[in-house]
Amino acid sequence: MTKLTNFRLMGTDVILQDYEDGKGKIILSNDDYDYNLSYYWGSMGQGYDLKKFLIKTNDGYLINKLGQRSNDGPINIKKTMAAVRKYIKTDTYWRFYMNLEADKELRDALNNVQRFSGCQNEFVHMMQNLDVDFPKNGRYHEYESDFKDMTKSISFEPWYFIVNDEPAVNVWLGKFLPKLRKYLRKESEVQDELFKSDKGVKNDQ
Q: Residue 171: give the domain boundaries.
A: 3-70+167-204
How many domains is the chain built from?
2
* Per-residue model confidence as pLDDT tens digits over 132-188: 988 876 565 778 999 999 999 999 999 999 999 999 999 999 999 999 999 999 988
Q: Where are the beta strands (DSSP E) in the chain?
A: 3-9, 12-19, 23-30, 35-41
31 shares its domain with 81: no
pLDDT tens-place string over residues 50-60:
999 999 999 99
Residue 9 near residue 54, CB atoms below 8 Å? no
Grouping H, G, I as helix, E, B as strand and the rest as coil, residue 31 is coil
Q: What is the dihedral of CA 63, 69, 73, 79, to 10 degrees?
A: 100
pLDDT of residue 201: 47
CB within 8 Å of 42: residues ≥ 6 apart = 23
pLDDT band at residue 202 under the 50/70/90 scheme = low
The answer to whether residues 90 and 155 belong to one domain is yes
Checking phi first, is residue 194 left (phi over 0); if not, alpha (psi -120 to 50) or beta? Answer: alpha
